[in-house]
């Protein structure tokens, strides 16, 4: 079983990053609910924009924690894809 699952030691996030993640989660949940209730694409543009910012912040945190280059480049790539989706909805 150890062949497929390797132990990964992730450093604990600092308090500013935890607070930012919580705020982004609340804002994205609010935009999702408002977009569904009002049936307006404007809220989905903001939703994907907020999720893109959250992904880029995760990449910055991974960079500061000296994780593998692949990890933070993947987070930055997801952020760019989410920003492209936001511009697609607008």
Contact between 47 and 35 under an 8 Å Cβ cutoff? The reply is: yes
∠ CA 13-61-87, nearest 5°, is 125
| Confidence label for 9 from pLDDT (cuts 50, 70 and 90) | low
Q: What is the pLDDT of residues 12-58, one digit of tens each?
A: 778 888 899 999 999 999 999 998 998 877 888 899 999 999 999 98
Q: Can you say whether the dihedral through the CA atoms of 28, 30, 23, 9 is positive or negative? A: negative
- pTM value > 0.85: no
Confidence at residue 6, expressed as pLDDT on a 0 to 100 scale: 66
Closest-CA residue to 71 (of 84, 60, 82, 83): 60
Report which of residues 90 and 86 the model is more confident about. 86
């Amino acid at each position: 079983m150890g062949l497929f699952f390797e132990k990964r030691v992730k450093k604990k996030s600092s308090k500013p990053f935890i607070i930012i993640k919580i705020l982004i989660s609340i804002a994205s949940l609010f935009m999702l609910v408002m977009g569904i209730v009002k049936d307006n694409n404007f809220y989905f543009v903001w939703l994907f924009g907020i999720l893109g910012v959250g992904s880029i912040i995760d990449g910055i945190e991974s960079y500061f924690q000296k994780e593998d280059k692949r990890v933070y480049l993947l987070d930055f790539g997801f952020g760019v894809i989410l920003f492209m989706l936001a511009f697609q909805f607008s």
